[in-house]
Amino acid sequence: MNNSFAPAIFLMGPTASGKTGVAVELYSKLPIELISVDSALVYRDMNIGTAKPDAETLAKAPHHLIDIIPPTETYSAANFRNDALRLMADITARGKIPLLVGGTMLYFKALQGGLSNLPEASPEVRGEIEQEAAQIGWPAMHAKLAQVDPETAARLQPTDVQRIERALEVYRLTGQSMTSLHQASAGEALPYRLLKIALVPSDRKVLHERIALRFDQMLANGFLDEVKALVAKYLTLTAESTSMRCVGYRQALEYLAGEYDEAELRDRGIFATRQLAKRQLTWLRGMDDLEEVDCLNPAMHELVLEKITQFINGHN
């Protein structure tokens, strides 16, 4: 089969929408291989806080791109795109269909649309931005970003320091917004016939309840012990490490440093996860050609299987 017309499937959704459960069931019923699209699951030894599928699940339904680097290293959207394209070609050559499952929307976007030529980081410009932020605060910097790049600012929370800083840096280095640079990029299109399924909640409140329950389960399952073990094993890890920016980990580090008590850790962890889900849903709203399925529908698994079966059979 020519790769230009080979089928591929995106299974996307916010955290706690049930993506892994659906993917594992699909693996048992369809000629697919699973590729993880998750910037947290790439890290070894980060299992509980990332809601990584357990060993039994992975033995039953293997996922590519899980546990591939230590938490002291970084993994970019460009790394992901290169790895995913190689894996998709291998999977197609084996006569299977690649199903990419996860919630890192930037990775899906990079894979489908290519990567724009954004400038390299500039320590000097970043230093200026951080100095300015120290004087007026990040919410004010977010407001400044909204003046020059309203689309990016609308997607970010005023507390999302890393991305606000990067968007301002890009503008100051190029005189153009990150949005316009992305739009101007001719990025190589993905050479596959795509089905994009989004698991979205019909009731945001129920998703929030799921998020709270899952964070409580993580704490009960030894999340704090996992973070202690990470710090002991990887001596260069800090709250600023890329891996520790994954939701929950920075809050756990701050709690272990004595910055607040366990009740506040729980509140902050749940709040951060809800904010992540909100960003993921915002990304999904901006995507085209989506097949949406209510992740709260008891028949979700059957509905997804039906859409994929129709797609494979060429009836989409």
Distances (CA, A) of 258 to 1, 217, 218, 251, 297: 58, 22, 20, 11, 41
pLDDT at 115: 73
Amino acid 316: pLDDT: 46
The pLDDT value given to residue 272: 96
Contact indicator for 111, 85 with CB cutoff of 8 Å: yes
d(CA 27, CA 33): 7
pLDDT at 259: 96
From CA 267, how far away is CA 12, in angstroms rounded?
Answer: 26
Domains of the chain and any CATH numbers: 3-115+187-312 (3.40.50.300), 123-184 (1.10.20.140)
Maximum distance among all Cα pairs of the chain, rounded to whole angstroms: 59
What one-letter code names the amino acid at 23?
Answer: A
pLDDT at 233: 98
SS3 193: strand
Cβ proximity of 187 and 115 under 8 Å: yes
The span from the CA of 27 to the CA of 100, in Å, is 12
Q: What is the pLDDT of residue 1?
A: 39
What ranges make up the beta strands (E) of 216-300? 290-294
Taking the C-alpha atoms of residue 316 and residue 311, their distance in angstroms, rounded to an integer, is: 5
Query: What stretch of H or E contains 7?
Result: strand 7-12
- Would you write out the chain's pLDDT as a tens digit for each of its 316 residues? 344 589 999 999 999 999 999 999 999 999 999 999 999 999 999 999 999 999 999 999 999 999 999 999 988 888 999 999 999 999 999 999 999 999 999 999 989 988 767 788 888 899 999 999 999 999 999 999 999 999 999 989 998 999 999 999 999 988 888 888 876 655 567 889 999 999 999 999 999 999 999 999 999 999 999 999 999 999 999 888 889 999 999 999 999 999 999 999 999 999 999 999 999 999 999 999 999 999 999 999 999 999 999 999 885 4
Question: How high is the pLDDT of residue 122?
Answer: 87
Return d(Cα 93, Cα 2) in angstroms, integer. 9
